[in-house]
Structure 1
Amino acid sequence: MRIGEIAALTIGDVRDLDGRAVSVINLSRHQTKGSKSRRVFISAELQKLLNQYLATISDLSDSRAFIRSSRTGSHFSNVSLSLRFKAIYAQAGIKTSSHSGRRTFATRLNAAGIGMRTIQNALGHANIQTTALYCDVSDDQLANAVNVI
């Protein structure tokens, strides 16, 4: 997900009627870049983590911001959330930006043999050429490619 999509999430976006984390987040056109609604599929591992996080939130009103400022109780701005991600990376000893997670996600899917159209849809890109720019190719992938023939 893009940083702006994460910042726009509400409790109702990530929680089902039983109070558990959803397996698919349905983003409205107002929450996405390009004003086009899309679905984001959630891995089983992330669902577990989301359930743990949901258990720690005191106000579970569906309209409340999922990730919210402790000072204001409302949504973070894209810039503020991006800076938070950067600080988390820095604490882990990783010097990078919040956006690099999307690039790594795309590159790893590509390396695992996932098709470019699937990666395009997972990232919410309108243009497959944008997706291709996100996918770095390793020397191992190149060596494996020529040995397929």
Structure 2
Amino acid sequence: MAQAKTFKAEELERVLDYVKLSKHAQRNRAILLLTHWAGLRVGEVAALRMCDVLDANLMVKSEIRLSAEQTKGAIARTVFVNEKLRVELQGYADTLKTRDPQWAFFPTQKFPRRGFTANTLTQHMNGIYRQCQIEGATSHSGRRSFITNLASKGIGVRVLMSLAGHKNISTTQAYIDVNDDMKRRAVELI
């Protein structure tokens, strides 16, 4: 099975420009950016509740603590939220009608309290990528792009492993897509 496509910056911008004109634009943008800028799995995004993302003052936290039930490997982990993602998430959070801390952070019209399932969110994201005609993009592309982009900036594989919540370093290494720009920068270090 082929791995999900890693995005170039201009491809992500193309998707975000498309989403800007869609119904639920802020919600969809926040969902996509959580995968691309924080490396969350689609199931982890779907599992987010208000209390995971917002503090008591309804401000986006700098760290999202995922419980074991919310992660693929059933191991709790902390997701670090950079400032630009916090601003994006806050913009979305400010549009939410409910403030119940146990409600889904990404409610749906059909299931506002529970929100998306991992499967319905996967279908939703894949549909967005299909509409943007990004060949090979899947709901896992944001996570893979997150890891590859950090690797290309020189972040060590052990840090990447921890950020991704992987148990084995070989899993993290498989996510890193080596490209010509990375190779050019590498040989310039000689």
TM-score band by shorter chain is over 0.9
> Which one of the candidate residues 166, 174, 178 is aligned to 1:125?
166
Aligned to 2:4: none
CA–CA distance in 2 between the matches of 1:49 and 1:91?
23
Q: Write the letter of the residue equivalent to 1:48.
A: V
> Which one of the candidate residues 143, 149, 159 is aligned to 1:102?
143
Aligned to 1:80: 120
CA–CA distance in 2 between the matches of 1:89 and 1:22?
28
> Which one of the candidate residues 63, 82, 99 is aligned to 1:24?
63
The TM-score normalised by the length of structure 2 is 0.74
CA–CA distance in 1 between the matches of 2:181 and 2:69?
40
The TM-score normalised by the length of structure 1 is 0.93
Query: Which residues in structure 2 correspond to 1:34-53 (within 5 Å)?
Result: 34-53=73-92
- Shift of residue 35, structure 1, vs aligned partner: 1.1
Percent identity at matched positions?
40
Runs of at least 5 residues in structure 1 that lack an aligned partner in the other structure? none
CA–CA distance in 2 between the matches of 1:148 and 1:43?
29
Runs of at least 5 residues in structure 2 that lack an aligned partner in the other structure? 1-39
3-state SS, counterpart of residue 69 of structure 1: coil
Number of residue pairs the alignment of both structures matches: 149
CA RMSD, 1 decimal: 1.3
3-state SS, counterpart of residue 34 of structure 1: coil
Is the aligned partner of 1:91 residue 2:131? Answer: yes
- Shift of residue 76, structure 1, vs aligned partner: 1.2
